[in-house]
Amino acid sequence: MYIESLSLVNFRNHNDAEFHLVNGVNCIVGRNGAGKTNVLDAVHYLSMCRSYLNPIDRQNVRFDQQFFVIQGDWVKNEQPFTLYCGVKVGAKKVFKKNKKEYDRLADHIGQFPVVMISPYDADLISEGSEVRRKWMDGIIAQFDRPFLEDLQRYNKVIEQRNALLKQQYENGFFSREPLEIWDDQLVRYGKAIHEKRSAFIEAFIPLFQRYYQWISSQQEQVSMSYESALSETDFSELLTQAYPKDARVQYTTMGVHRDDVQFLINEQPIKKYGSQGQQKSFLIALRLAQFDWLKERLNLVPILLLDDIFDKLDNFRVAQLMSLVSKNTFGQVLVTDTDEIRVSGIFKAIGVEPHIILFDEEVV
């Protein structure tokens, strides 16, 4: 699977731009702030129906404009597909495949997979649990449609339950009985989500560990653990126990929306005990394992997006990563960098001739 062309109108800092790509390594080269990362983000939009960088659609519209359009010509299993994403301020997002609009964006997820390695991945380690939940859920949702549907239903029930808790607080009337209909649904969807998350993490760890050892060539042990109150206590019981606190704070304090994934090195949190180099290797291994995981389950080779990584990695890790990317197991690759000589030299050293796209003032 690969992209032949990509066009952007009013997307972030791009006014009207078009890019032609090859089914191999594509290097997008230009100064900082020219919009290189935004090209990769546009590809992510066409895959996942949302930005990798900013989940608020209207904030991705070019300054002083009212809409953006992203369109790409893809080839999948030797068949052509045109994907279209249009966002207009104040209107519903429009997503089309071959000019036919989706009734539900969820129907598109997993059809055109991409994996992005970016400096922003550091948030997976440094930020709170929500970032790691979204990473985990985003992978599972691409090959498990019932999981995505359960997750969407669960989130809607949480909204309804929280609204009722707020209403009870404002009215000064507290009762568990009106919440029971929402609790029953939370338990149903929450248990299903918990089971699939647990199974995913357990199966994902060995693949991730192999990539870490290959990239780092170090002896430290890395792993991850899925942390959920549902692993220890029945969900119905948790909701009953938490009701006094829920009523006081006016939102649901227990459930899979509070779960986390702990990233570990030598059985300790990598956020506190991992060096900068170890954390970088950890994140790269995480994304490469994600690539393999999706490739196997979707029977498709995802597009690999590498954003500004040469400045962020030492020479050893760059050589290891590029050696891996050049193998046949990877398909189309999009790389951004600020230095044409550097990026050409890196790929020349491993016998790969990249397609270079140079940014200048006329591109954006």
CATH number of domain containing 333: 3.40.50.300
Which has the closest alpha carbon to 246: 311, 184, 161, 306?
161
Which has the closest alpha carbon to 126: 276, 246, 235, 26?
276
Residues 359 and 36 sit within 8 Å (Cβ to Cβ): yes
Partners of 333 in beta bridges: 25, 304
Query: Which structural domain, as residue segments, surrounds residue 344?
Result: 1-113+300-364
We report the CATH number of the domain holding residue 273 as 1.20.1050.90
Q: What is the pLDDT of residue 364?
A: 41
In a domain, 122, yes or no: no
Q: What is the pLDDT of residues 226-269, one digit of tens each?
A: 999 999 999 999 999 999 999 999 999 999 999 999 999 999 99
What mean pLDDT is predicted for residues 282-303? 94
Strands 114-117 and 303-307: parallel
313 pLDDT exceeds 80? no
358, 324: one domain: yes
Chain centroid to Cα 250, Å, comes to 30
- Percentage of the chain modeled with pLDDT above 70: 98
Residues 35 and 363 sit within 8 Å (Cβ to Cβ): yes
Dihedral angle, C-alpha 321, 325, 326, 332, nearest 10 °: -150
226, 319: one domain: no
Q: What is the pLDDT of residue 314?
A: 76
Q: CA geometry: angle at 124 spanning 120 and 126, to 5°?
A: 90
Which of the 8 DSSP states describes residue 61?
A: B
pTM of the model: 0.91
Q: Report the C-alpha gap between 357 and 355 in whole angstroms.
A: 7
Which residue, chain included where needed, has tokens 């950890």? 282
In a domain, 121, yes or no: no
Q: Report the C-alpha gap between 169 and 124 in whole angstroms.
A: 35
Q: What is the pLDDT of residue 328?
A: 62
Most distant CA pair in the chain, distance: 72
